[in-house]
Amino acid sequence: MFLILAVFVLILWGLLRNIGIISSWLLSTVLRCPLEVGSVGWCRLSDVRLRLPSGLLVHVDVCQIQLFSTLVSKPLLLSLGDVRVEGDTHSLAQASSTAGRKPSNVSIAKRSIVSRVVQMVQYCGLYINRGHLVLLDALPGCMIHVTVDELLVEAFRSRESWQLEVSCRLARGKAMLRRATTGHSLLDVALQFRLSLDVAGGRLINVRFRIEDPTVDLSSGVFAALEKQTSSSESSSPSEEVIPPANGQQTSSFIADLSDLSIETNNCLIKYNGAIAQESRTMILSVRGLSVLKDGGKVQARIAGLTIEDQGQRFSIRTSLLVLSHEIRTAGVNVQISSDSVQTKLSVQDLVWWKIHADECIMSVVGKAMVPSKSVPQRGLPTLFAVELASISCDLVDLDSFQSTLSVQFFSITKTMEVLEIGVDCLCISAPYVNTADATFERHQWGQSVFIGAALVQCRLNEATRGFIIGIDDCKLEWSDKLAEQIKQLSSVMSTNASNNQNTPLVAKTVNIRLNMKRAAVISVVKESSYLALLCDEVEAECDGSRSFAISAQHARIVSAPVHETFVDLLVLRNTSKFVPPVDRGSDAPWRCWNQAKNDARKNMRAAAWDEQRVNRPQLCFETDVLCVTFEVVNPAISNVTCSSGSLVYLVWSPLLHRILYHMGQVIASTFLPSKAGKGSPRKSPRQLQYRLLTNHAIELVLELPRHHR
């Protein structure tokens, strides 16, 4: 008896002494991968090292099982202390390729082990105090480090589905260059989250994800690393042709398979650091609240407090509420975007800088990913979208730091299968000192470049020749030297970027345009001292490609006057009548007065009266009830311009009008026409313009001679 007890004690002592080795052998046999256990305690394992078939090395300092823990509702809790996972992408790629060549019985055995583990999870929760994931060469020369604090996993099972609950107090991920000269990381993400998943029939049907205070710090070096990765993968692997499925149906997307989706986050902050040469800038995107809901086939996203700004620069976009909706119907995919207010600040210099940065760093990677496959035809439902934006304001700063303000009370875009429709209400582009709150058509403030009361643009999409129908209620334009300089700078910047990015020649398309305006006004300001106003009603224009153009207007009149107030009333200009010269109040007739001094005094008095009346009242320069202008290209060398009127024509020509028109022509030519310097020899046969003036009524012409004309 004593001998048996001694042998039992000896065996027990040997087992306890080598329990680590025995546990390592048993667990390695069950898991079918190398595993080492440092020491074994009561429901406790220490210094556990595991090498997975994928090449990942897992190290757990403490692994223990707790009974009836307060952290979970399960009777058992698997608690892990410090978990560290290390690996590299090369070993993972080799393991995945090897796993694909293994026989089917091995994969079936793995699936059975996974199913048993899943069945055990419903009775035991998982808690990780701190986890580390280190992945080497995820990108060329880049290392990814993920840290997780207080990760809690709990699973529940019902008759029809599984439910997985995951919560994390803090998760942080970094992507760093292994041989970086600076301490800045390529990507830094930090957040705390709660995740709930529902699985039924091997398919994910419900996702609820809540994120608290996420922060993302992104650098432009990520796109350089991605470009190296894509270039190396394209050079190493040959191009494979994608074979479409036999049944003609494409694999449904992850979002489409979900029956219920809920994502909520608050206080989201994303920083992007971009650099060109030695200059670097930071773009910040912040969101106060974000919620994404999916119910059946409809997905809706609500973004509250969206702000995008260039730190330290004059570029920002702000909106208080942005709602995006996506719904799949039998007729097509319906997309809706709406916002209550959009406030932006744009600088031409900043836009050019970010455009160059996007072309050099971002589009080289994103552009390749967005190119559709040529082997598989891209077929899908037509997209129907609608955009509604209310209360839009934009502050624009040009290259000379001259500011302009754009305000729109309502803006909408609607696209169906046949028609694209764009509508605006109360669009105003003006200088910052102009009050746009009470902008009207009748009251024109100096510095108000564009005013459109209401406009609607329709475009037919299913016709061979693209046609546009434009309807405008009130339209008012102000042409000035400052506006011409702004347009010239913008056109030069855009032409420079277009010449750098243009790889294929542009093909000219024929476009038909029909325009209807109720009231129109064009005001040209010359050197901020005098102006010329064109007023007309019921404007109709039609353009048939580039061969012909016709425009007609009613009650057209041109008025000129010097600028002497902060605003001008268009009703006063519309009611301006013809000028009647003052009556000579001299006692003697001019041909009977031989005194030159009296003649000069009388002439100066008449000139003073003329100047006084011209200052106090605008001068009517042109007036007719019906005016039609037609432009037609007869052949490549000859074009016809026809002006016709069906009523009395009143025309006044004066030195002031001559100077205004001459200055307007010089400014327009320098703004829109390209410079002829350095273009070589001119054309041998320049285009000839033939002018025709037609009317069946009388023409009244008044010529004002210069003051000292003899």
* DSSP output for 467-502: EEEEEEEEEEEEE-HHHHHHHHHHHHHHHHHHHHH-
What tens digit of pLDDT does each residue of 93-129 get? 666 666 555 555 555 655 665 666 666 667 788 889 9
459 pLDDT more than 80: yes
Task: Say which residue, 296 or 495, is predicted with more confidence.
Answer: 296
Judge contact between 63 and 80, C-beta under 8 A: yes
Residues 6+ apart with CB under 8 A from 454: 423, 424, 425, 426, 472, 473, 474
Predicted pLDDT at 380: 57
244 within domain boundaries:
no
Task: Say which residue, 20 or 398, is predicted with more confidence.
Answer: 398
Q: Which of 282, 260, 259 is nearest to 272 (CA)?
A: 282
Q: Which of 380, 384, 452 is nearest to 418 (CA)?
A: 384
Residues 6+ apart with CB under 8 A from 97: none
Predicted pLDDT at 690: 87
Among 452-456, 612-616, 676-680, where is mean pLDDT lowest?
676-680
On the CB side of 114, CA atoms within 13 Å amount to 7
Q: How confident is the model at residue 306 (pLDDT cuts 50, 70, 90)?
A: very high
CA angle 392, 431, 494 (to 5 degrees): 75
Helix axis angle, 481-501 relative to 655-672, nearest 10°?
Answer: 20
Task: Say which residue, 469 or 489, is predicted with more confidence.
Answer: 469
Predicted pLDDT at 87: 84
Predicted pLDDT at 517: 93
Judge contact between 363 and 223, C-beta under 8 A: no
Helix axis angle, 348-357 relative to 481-501, nearest 10°?
Answer: 0
Q: How confident is the model at residue 206 (pLDDT cuts 50, 70, 90)?
A: confident
Question: What is the percent of the chain where pLDDT is above 90?
Answer: 24
567 pLDDT more than 90: no
* Beta bridge mates, 216: 189, 270
DSSP state letter for 586:
-
Residue in the structure block whose two tokens are 């347009």:
487
Q: Which two tokens stand for residue 368?
A: 């390749």
Predicted pLDDT at 687: 72
Highest mean pLDDT pick, 396-400, 404-408, 494-498, 678-682: 404-408
Q: Which of 441, 516, 449 is nearest to 474 (CA)?
A: 441
Among 67-81, 301-315, 523-537, 583-597, where is mean pLDDT lowest?
583-597
For the entire predicted model, the pTM comes to 0.76
d(CA 708, CA 546): 47
Distance of CA 547 to the CA centre of its chain: 35
Q: b/e per residue, 376-388, with b = 16+ CB within 10 A?
A: eeeeeeeebbbeb
Highest mean pLDDT pick, 53-57, 584-588, 669-673: 669-673
DSSP state letter for 178:
T
Question: What is the percent of the chain where pLDDT is above 70?
Answer: 75
572 within domain boundaries:
yes
DSSP reduced 3-state for 369: helix
Predicted pLDDT at 250: 44
121 within domain boundaries:
no
645 within domain boundaries:
yes
Give the pairing type, strands 203-219 and 260-276.
parallel
Among 23-27, 241-245, 316-320, 590-594, where is mean pLDDT lowest?
241-245
Phi-psi region of 160 (alpha: psi -120 to 50; beta: other; left: phi over 0): alpha
d(CA 340, CA 4): 87
Task: Say which residue, 604 or 549, is predicted with more confidence.
Answer: 549
Q: What rounded mean pLDDT belongs to the chain?
A: 79
Q: Which of 620, 625, 622 is nearest to 555 (CA)?
A: 625
Judge contact between 128 and 80, C-beta under 8 A: yes
Predicted pLDDT at 242: 45
Judge contact between 47 and 39, C-beta under 8 A: yes
Q: How confident is the model at residue 598 (pLDDT cuts 50, 70, 90)?
A: confident
Give the pairing type, strands 619-635 and 649-653.
antiparallel
Q: How confident is the model at residue 38 (pLDDT cuts 50, 70, 90)?
A: confident
Within the chain, how many helices (H) and strands (E) appear? 12, 30
Residues 6+ apart with CB under 8 A from 160: 200
362 within domain boundaries:
no
Surface-to-core class of residue 686, CB atoms within 10 Å of its CB (0-12 exposed, 13-18 middle, 19+ buried): exposed
What tens digit of pLDDT does each residue of 325-365 get? 988 877 778 899 999 889 998 888 888 888 888 887 777 66
What tens digit of pLDDT does each residue of 345-356 get? 888 888 888 888
Among 168-182, 340-354, 521-535, where is mean pLDDT lowest?
168-182
Measure the N-to-C terminal CA separation of the chain; round to a whole number of Å.
151
**Backbone φ, ψ for residue 224 (5° rounding):** -65, -40
Predicted pLDDT at 710: 47
Q: Which two tokens stand for residue 18?
A: 């080598």
DSSP reduced 3-state for 608: helix
227 within domain boundaries:
no
Q: Which of 218, 194, 205, 196 is nearest to 285 (CA)?
A: 218
Q: How many domains would you assign to the chain?
A: 1
Whole-number Cα distances in Å, 708 to 550, 584, 614, 615, 702: 42, 18, 18, 20, 18
**Tell me, what amino acid is at 676?**
K
Distance of CA 40 to the CA centre of its chain: 59
d(CA 624, CA 645): 7
Predicted pLDDT at 375: 47
d(CA 270, CA 211): 14
Helix boundaries (H) for 139-247: 221-236
664 within domain boundaries:
yes
Judge contact between 572 and 619, C-beta under 8 A: no
Task: Say which residue, 254 or 631, is predicted with more confidence.
Answer: 631
Whole-number Cα distances in Å, 190 to 87, 220, 267, 666: 22, 19, 12, 59
Predicted pLDDT at 251: 40
612 within domain boundaries:
yes
Phi-psi region of 681 (alpha: psi -120 to 50; beta: other; left: phi over 0): beta
Judge contact between 643 and 631, C-beta under 8 A: no
Surface-to-core class of residue 566, CB atoms within 10 Å of its CB (0-12 exposed, 13-18 middle, 19+ buried): exposed
d(CA 701, CA 636): 35
Residues 6+ apart with CB under 8 A from 11: none
What tens digit of pLDDT does each residue of 410-452 get? 999 999 888 899 999 999 998 888 888 888 899 998 888 899 9
d(CA 710, CA 691): 32
d(CA 493, CA 351): 10
* Beta bridge mates, 254: none
Helix, strand, coil share (%) of the chain residues, nearest 5 = 25, 50, 25
Domain span including residue 640: 547-672+686-703
20 pLDDT more than 80: no
- Give the count of beta carbons closer than 10 Å to the beta carbon of residue 683: 7
**Backbone φ, ψ for residue 104 (5° rounding):** -70, -30
Predicted pLDDT at 421: 94
**Backbone φ, ψ for residue 540 (5° rounding):** -130, 130
What tens digit of pLDDT does each residue of 609-636 get? 766 766 667 888 899 999 999 998 888 7
Predicted pLDDT at 198: 85
